[in-house]
Amino acid sequence: MSQPEIEQRVGLGLPVVLAVGLHLVILILTLVSWPESEPEQTSNTIVNATLVSTETTTNQAQQAKASKARDAAEKANEQQSAKEKAAKEAELAAQQQKSAALEKASELKAQQQKAAEQEKAEAQAEAAEQLKAEQKAAAEAAAQAKADAARRAEEAKAIALDRKKAEAEKQAKEEALKKADAEKAAKAKAEQEKAKKEKAAEEARKKANADKAAKAKADAEAKKTDADKAAKAKAAAEKAEKDKAAKAAAEKAAKEKAAKEKAAEESRKKSAAESARKKALAEKAAQASAGSLDSLIDNESDAISGAKQAAQAANGFVDLVKKYVGQNWSRPSGTTPGKTVTLRVSLLPTGELVSAAVKKSSGDSVFDRSAIQAVQKAAPFTELQQLPSGARSKFRNFDLYFNPEDLGR
């Protein structure tokens, strides 16, 4: 029996049992007679009244009780009939339910069988689909494996190409670095060689200047006696103050640059040679003339000789100043050739520099300033004291034309 049929039978049986039990209880109550209490002994009047009253009450109670019993019995009968009817109906319903349950069980079995067959078919179909899916997956896996193999081959090829390219780039970079290092080393070597040459040139220049200074000092010392004699001769024609300044300048001249003294000595030698030449001419003229004419020619020759000597001395001083300035001049970086400047120079009688200013500019302030600095470095020009008084006053204030091309620079 199925579970729903069992539950339906249990649900109908319990009310039937309860109904039968209730009818039995009512029937028992109607048949049982309960004991009555005995009346109390009192006076007659009271007893009679009481008996009448008691009998009446008892009868009424019994009647009511009997009526209730009948009603209960009828009700019980009705209930019993209803119960029997309900039992029959329940039994009929149970039979119907049983039949329905059997039919339902048969249908359920058929459905189960059909479901089993359907499930089997579905399982077979699912197995077929799964097999088909597995075959498809296997084919896709094979295709994927083939594609992966091709992709890996391409990647390996690309990696090989990249590696080869990277090695080539690395080699090129290393070669470039080597080349750069070689160029750097060559440049450093060239700079060292250049610095070495410049240093050697500077040392050679310093040595030459030192040798020149030593030679000039030796010449100055050897010719000191002549210089002293010349200074004394000039001092006789000048004022005491000039004589004192000349003496101080002569003492200071021994300490000046050898190049300046050498140039002064060369100028003096030139003047002496010119004097000797003039004198020889005068002697020849004296031999060809006579009497007062000799005296006239001698005077005129002396005047001409003095003027020329003064002019030569002035020109020599200018050349000397230019030489000293050129030796102390340094070409500024970036200066183009062909530039010249005219400076206004003021000197003391001792040759010391008072001022140097631009009179006619070159158009390049840096070049002009370098020329002024060269004059300042070259001063003092003590050779001014050795000039005749007329030429000396001319160079207290004079114009100096400076052209580096004249110096071969």
Q: pLDDT by residue (tens digit) across 233-280?
A: 565 657 656 766 656 555 665 556 655 676 566 666 666 655 665 565
Residue scoring higher pLDDT (119 or 217): 119
Strand, helix or coil at 223? Answer: coil
Give the range of the structural domain holding residue 88, as residue numbers without chain letter: 3-30+48-109
Per-residue pLDDT, 151: 92
Per-residue pLDDT, 32: 62
DSSP label at residue 36: P
Last-in-domain residue among 77, 109, 141 = 109
43 — pLDDT class (breaks 50, 70, 90): very low
Determine the average pLDDT of the residues in 10-37: 71
Spatial distance between the Cα atoms of 371 and 328, rounded to a whole number of angstroms: 9
Last-in-domain residue among 80, 109, 138 = 109
**320 in any annotated domain:** yes
Number of domains forming the structure of the chain: 2
**346 in any annotated domain:** yes
Spatial distance between the Cα atoms of 288 and 285, rounded to a whole number of angstroms: 5
Strand, helix or coil at 127? Answer: helix
**227 in any annotated domain:** no
| CB distance 261 to 220 below 8 Å | yes
| CB distance 220 to 264 below 8 Å | no
| CB distance 360 to 303 below 8 Å | no
**166 in any annotated domain:** no
**100 in any annotated domain:** yes
DSSP label at residue 359: E
pLDDT, one tens digit per residue, over 276-330 is 655 654 465 445 444 433 443 344 444 445 556 666 777 888 889 999 999 999 9
Per-residue pLDDT, 229: 61
**239 in any annotated domain:** no
Per-residue pLDDT, 156: 87
User: In this structure, what CATH number is given to the domain that contains residue 325?
Assistant: 3.30.1150.10
Residue 157 pLDDT greater than 80, yes or no: yes
**59 in any annotated domain:** yes
Residue scoring higher pLDDT (71 or 356): 356
**116 in any annotated domain:** no
